């Protein structure tokens, strides 16, 4: 399984909480044969600093041209605190070993989200 989560920006409060959350349960996810990949439009240098600063164990991919974000439908118009902007829609995809999407979290609230993903993955494995 591959857990692909899309997030807006390195070193911001919600994104940090989410990355630390996935890092914290990564050993359990790996026991379930799952890898975690975070994707944002940040640069590889930004990701390297974020990983080092927060001691992250998840893989972070740079999507500078936003091709991956767009292909998953996660780059576009959003609203935050009543204001519209163009950016990343925080979301997660669980992809099974056959490369098919097994579960989608279209709009994520970061608190408790990694554990929710783990719970769904455990259900699929049983």
Q: What percent of the chain has pLDDT over 70?
A: 100
pLDDT at 102 over 90: yes
Distance separating the N- and C-terminal Cα atoms of the chain: 14
What CATH number does residue 55 fall under?
A: 3.40.30.10
In the sheet where 2-6 sits, what is the strand order?
Answer: 59-62, 35-40, 2-6, 91-95, 101-105
> What mean pLDDT comes out for the span 87-93?
97
Maximum alpha-carbon separation in the chain:
42
- Domain range for 68 is 2-125
pLDDT at 126 over 80: no
Query: How many domains does the chain contain in total?
Result: 1
pLDDT at position 78: 86
Q: Which two tokens stand for residue 60?
A: 């972070």
> What mean pLDDT comes out for the span 32-56?
98
Would you please indicate which residues are annotated as catalytic (active-site) residues? Answer: 15
Q: How many CA atoms lie within 13 A of 17 on its CB side?
A: 10
pLDDT at position 79: 85
pLDDT at position 81: 85
């Amino acid at each position: 399984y591959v857990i692909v989560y899309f997030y807006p920006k390195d070193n911001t409060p919600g994104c940090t909480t989410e990355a630390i959350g996935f890092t914290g349960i990564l050993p359990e996810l790996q026991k379930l044969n799952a890898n975690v990949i975070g994707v944002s439009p940040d640069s590889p240098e930004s990701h390297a600093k974020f990983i080092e600063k927060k001691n992250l164990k998840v893989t972070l991919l740079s999507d500078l041209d936003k091709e991956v974000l767009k292909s998953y439908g996660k780059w576009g118009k959003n609203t935050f605190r009543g204001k519209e902007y163009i950016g990343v829609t925080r979301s997660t995809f669980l992809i099974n070993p056959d490369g098919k999407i097994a579960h989608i979290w279209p709009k994520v609230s970061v608190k408790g989200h990694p554990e929710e993903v783990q719970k769904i993955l455990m259900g699929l494995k049983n």
